[in-house]
Amino acid sequence: MSTHQVEIGSKGFTHSLKIDGHDLSRGARGCTLTLGLAGTMPQLEVDLQLIDVSTVGSIEAEVTLGAGAREVLVALGWTPPAGA
């Protein structure tokens, strides 16, 4: 499992989350940090902004990512499809 450098900040009503230097604040709605036992790596679970999804059957559609979601996914190792 790969590890990442995490920075969590808060100043008044403004909060920030950076992973490996990427500001993911716009795409995250919360996070849970679990420190674990001695000798284990802490674990960070990030709650991403939810997208309203309805079942509409089988259709072709253009899929777009909300503000910040692309940066979050790329920072976590996702490779966007060619031409995206």
Q: How many Å apart are CA 73 and CA 49, to the nearest integer?
A: 12
**What is the per-residue pLDDT for 78?**
83
**What is the per-residue pLDDT for 8?**
92
Q: How many Å apart are CA 50 and CA 62, to the nearest integer?
A: 18
**What is the per-residue pLDDT for 55?**
62
Q: What is the 3-state secondary structure (H, E, C) of 12-41?
A: CCEEEEEECCEECCCCEEEEEEECCCCCCC
**What does each of the 84 residues of the chain score in pLDDT, given as a tens digit?**
678 889 999 999 999 999 888 888 888 888 888 888 888 888 888 888 766 556 666 666 666 666 677 777 888 888 887 766
Half-sphere exposure of 30 (CA within 13 A, CB side): 2
